[in-house]
Amino acid sequence: MSESGEFCPNCGDPIEVDRSTRAYPGAATRRERKLCDSCYFDRFDLVDAPERIEVRVCAQCGAVHRGNRWVDVGARDYTDVAIEEVSDALGVHVDADDVSWQVDPEQVDQNTIRMHSYFSGVVRGTVVEEDVTVPVKISRQTCTRCGRIAGDYYASTVQVRAVGRTPTAEETERAREIATEIVEEMEATGDRDAFVTDVSETEDGLDLKVSTTNIGKKIASKLIEEFGGDFSDSETLVTEDEDGNEVYRVTYAVRLPPFTPGDVIDPRDEGGPVLVRSVRSNLKGRRLTTGEPFELRFDDDDAPEPRKLGRVEDAEETTLVATEDEHAVQVLDPETYRTKTVARPDYLDVDADSVPVLKSRAGLHVLPDESRESG
Ligand SMILES: [Zn+2]
Ligand SMILES: [Zn+2]
């Protein structure tokens, strides 16, 4: 012990400082040291605790209100949430080292938890302990998202349609899946504004109402990426919000291509029917007369409008009777059971006993064998 030459400003006692502490040049340390230990501990509070804490939770989805927004915490039990809120709200004195704390929640009723907390720490070389009890009130409300869902809120509609036909079950099913996937991806990044408000079948397709225009646009883009076609958007003024800003809803009108893979079409170019394999950017397929690849640009306005003849699912298995030459074979017409000479595409296996054929207004044509599985 040595005299520091300083005196406690509170009680006037000389302050004892050991050399190791005195050698430490921190200004804060010097200022704290102005009080003697006795006066310092008289005024010392290890823990700074609020009188009570209110935790706002959403009664529908369990989200917790933090700061100025709702957060999904994935809690099954609000006790854990209450403990976390209390630990955030309690402050431990900066001078304390080796702080440890325990908490003992006491469920008073459904909406009240008394949080008994025990703290200990080391201050000025002395172990200090303190108990605090903070009542936590769980306040059940409705979060912004659940309120919007309950109010059928939506900011955008995706209309899934197809040119000259209604979308297939596969296309509308996939549209629903895409909507769910996009919302889930956005939720995974913490976006609480993403949801699907409504999905409804219409006479000519499917309507998806979603919570943001961004989601609507993503669904439309993904659909045409997978199925081809295009989309356009249009805005409708619906209302003004509380700040006087105009609120628009955006409709994304998706037009899927007129044909889907598995369609048999007549491109009306004298080359014979085509089995469609892909419609994503261009229409791609195979001639049923020769087996040669076929391609048609959708934006080719000079090309005649192709005509649909049937689907691979409509094909029937029939007997391959004989090979005539390199361009023709004989098969049994599945309707009349008469032998008929038809074109011999390069995919036809002349050793086969039977082949799939499609009878359409363009005549009788042999389909590729694998189309039965893929169709
Ligand atoms: Zn003093
Ligand atoms: Zn909610």
What are the tens digits of pLDDT across the range 122-145? 998 899 999 999 999 999 999 988
Closest ligand (CA of 41): 1
Ligand 1 center–CA 312 separation, angstroms: 97
Ligand 1 center–CA 128 separation, angstroms: 18
Ligand 1 center–CA 4 separation, angstroms: 14
Ligand 1 center–CA 17 separation, angstroms: 13
Mean pLDDT of 350-374: 85
Residue 28 in this model has a pLDDT that exceeds 60: no
The DSSP call for residue 270 is: S
pLDDT digit string, tens, across residues 322-346 = 999 999 999 999 999 999 999 999 9
Contacts of 179 (CB under 8 A, 6+ apart): 158, 196, 199, 208, 210, 215, 219
Closest ligand (CA of 72): 2
Per-residue confidence (pLDDT) for residue 4, from 0 to 100? 57
Ligand 1 center–CA 131 separation, angstroms: 25
Ligand 2 center–CA 216 separation, angstroms: 22
Q: From 186, 150, 179, select the one nearest 58 (Cα to Cα).
A: 150
Ligand 1 center–CA 41 separation, angstroms: 10
Ligand 1 center–CA 100 separation, angstroms: 28
Ligand 1 center–CA 24 separation, angstroms: 21
Query: Band of the pLDDT at 17, cuts 50, 70, 90?
Result: low
Ligand 2 center–CA 78 separation, angstroms: 14
Residue 30 in this model has a pLDDT that exceeds 60: no
Closest ligand (CA of 195): 2
65: exposed, middle or buried (C-beta count within 10 Å: 0-12, 13-18, 19+)? middle
Calpha distance 66→58 (Å, rounded): 12
Residues with CB under 5 A from ligand 1 (ion): 8, 10-11, 36, 39
Ligand 1 center–CA 7 separation, angstroms: 8
Contacts of 293 (CB under 8 A, 6+ apart): 284, 285, 286, 287
The DSSP call for residue 368 is: P
pLDDT digit string, tens, across residues 223-272 = 999 999 999 999 998 877 777 777 889 999 999 999 999 999 999 988 99
* Residue 299 burial (CB count, 10 A): 7
Query: Band of the pLDDT at 18, cuts 50, 70, 90?
Result: low
